Amino acid sequence: MAKVELRDIRKTYNAEEIIKGVSLDIENEEFVVFVGPSGCGKSTLLRMIAGLEEISGGDLMIDGARVNDLEPAKRGLAMVFQSYALYPHMNVYRNMEFGLKLAGMPEAERRQKITDVARTLQLDAYLKHKPGQLSGGQRQRVAIGRAIVRNPKVFLFDEPLSNLDAALRGQMRVELATLHRRLKATTIYVTHDQVEAMTMADKIVVLQKGVVEQVGSPLELYHHPRNLFVARFIGSPPMNFLPVTTRSIDPEGVTVARDRGESLLVPVLPGETASAEALTLGVRPEHIVIDPEGDVHGTIRMVERLGALTLLHVTLADDTLLIVQTDGDHGGEIDRPIRLRLQADNCHLFDARGIALTKLTRHRLAR
């Protein structure tokens, strides 16, 4: 299998830079997910790796060899498209055979490979079917099968699950993860869905406007976001943000407070933070506790009951909105006052530029 290296990759469209110098190492057998809002350049970056888009600058290396100018088929990659892009006039067998045939593989070998792959993907009963006769999930499998038979060094997935319904998406997510564990192929996967990113990735690359915001394991991004953008993007429901000012800086952390009282000691390194500086406090919905003694006073504005969990939308006196996650049995009612406590150890502080202050302790699961 293969190692993919991106060295200051750039893409310019009509004098506008879409990808602004991306450098990245993708290790052998790694499952890397590119995630970001639409228009962040994640698909463009994938298509550049695939060879479908020209690379305007920088080097793309696969197994140490520069492949910028190689034809897509010569790079040893296989891609699964968002629309599956199956050939509608060919049956499942011919769809999977097409690439092998063009590569000049002998008939017997082709047959053997396709039957093997079809069996592992439970497609053996459908080999004679045309794509139009298959369900969405089956088409998805054929698209994956077409990628697998070519035995590529790297798999590329371009939002492959976005056309499936929620239940099937969950199932395919598990299947893809299992498949990756079995095939041990280097995989690059593009999605805008952070759940897919969190559940499948060994390494997540968060992109925004053609720039890599952070690279790391899912829990590293979750517990140690490097900046406001990553903090906001990873996690659902999203992190809450409160404007605060620094009160004091101690070895144990930085003490901050909101306008009216309620100071909080957050265990982070102060960095260049000065006293009385305006910072942003970030706290995830599950790190806000309902506490009759709590020093944050608010009013419940909305209750979203998810069964196992309940999400309370709470507004504070200054109209700041906080989303609080509590257990499914919580009997919160709209327009009732509520008192909350922020778990200081799990809070994040961001400076004026939106960069996170380093935490004093690493989360034990965030490698």
Which residues contact other proteins (rule: CB under 8 A)? 50-52, 71-74, 77-79, 81-83, 85-90, 98-99, 102-103, 146, 150
- Report the distance separating Cα 144 and Cα 134, nearest Å: 14
Specify the DSSP class assigned to residue 358. P
The least distance separating other proteins from the CB of residue 51, rounded to whole angstroms, comes to 8
Q: How far is the CB of 46 from other proteins (least distance, A)?
A: 12
Residue nearer to other proteins on the CB measure, 73 or 125? 73
Q: Minimum Å distance from CB 299 to other proteins?
A: 49
**Per-residue CA distances from 9 to 5, 83, 112, 143, 202 (Å):** 10, 26, 39, 28, 22
Q: Give the span between the Cα atoms of 97 and 112, in whole angstroms.
A: 11
How many residues belong to the chain? Answer: 367
Cβ atoms 181, 213 nearer than 8 A: no
Q: Which residue has the tokens 């202050």?
A: 357
**Rg, C-alpha atoms of the chain:** 24
Q: With respect to other proteins, which residue has the nearer C-beta, 130 or 339?
A: 130
Q: Judged by CB, which is closer to other proteins: 156, or 179?
A: 156
CB of 19 to other proteins, least distance (A): 18
Minimum Å gap between C-beta 48 and other proteins is 13
Q: How far is the CB of 72 from other proteins (least distance, A)?
A: 5
In the complex, the smallest distance separating the C-beta of residue 108 from other proteins, rounded to whole angstroms, is: 20
Q: Report the residue number, 15 or 166, with the smaller CB distance to other proteins.
A: 15
Classify each residue of 82-92 as buried b or exposed e, where b means 16 or more C-beta atoms within 10 Å of its C-beta.
bebebeeeebb
d(CA 172, CA 299): 41
Would you say 6 or 154 has its CB closer to other proteins? 154
- CB-based burial label for 119 (10 Å; 0-12, 13-18, 19+): exposed
d(CA 201, CA 242): 30
Q: Looking at beta carbons only, is 74 or 301 nearer to other proteins? A: 74
The residue (of 46 and 215) whose beta carbon lies closer to other proteins is: 46
Q: How far is CA 189 from CA 57, 151, 339, 357, in A?
A: 22, 17, 42, 30
For other proteins, the closer CB: 48 or 296? 48
Three-class secondary structure of residue 245 per DSSP:
strand
- Residue 148 CB, shortest distance to other proteins, in Å, is 13
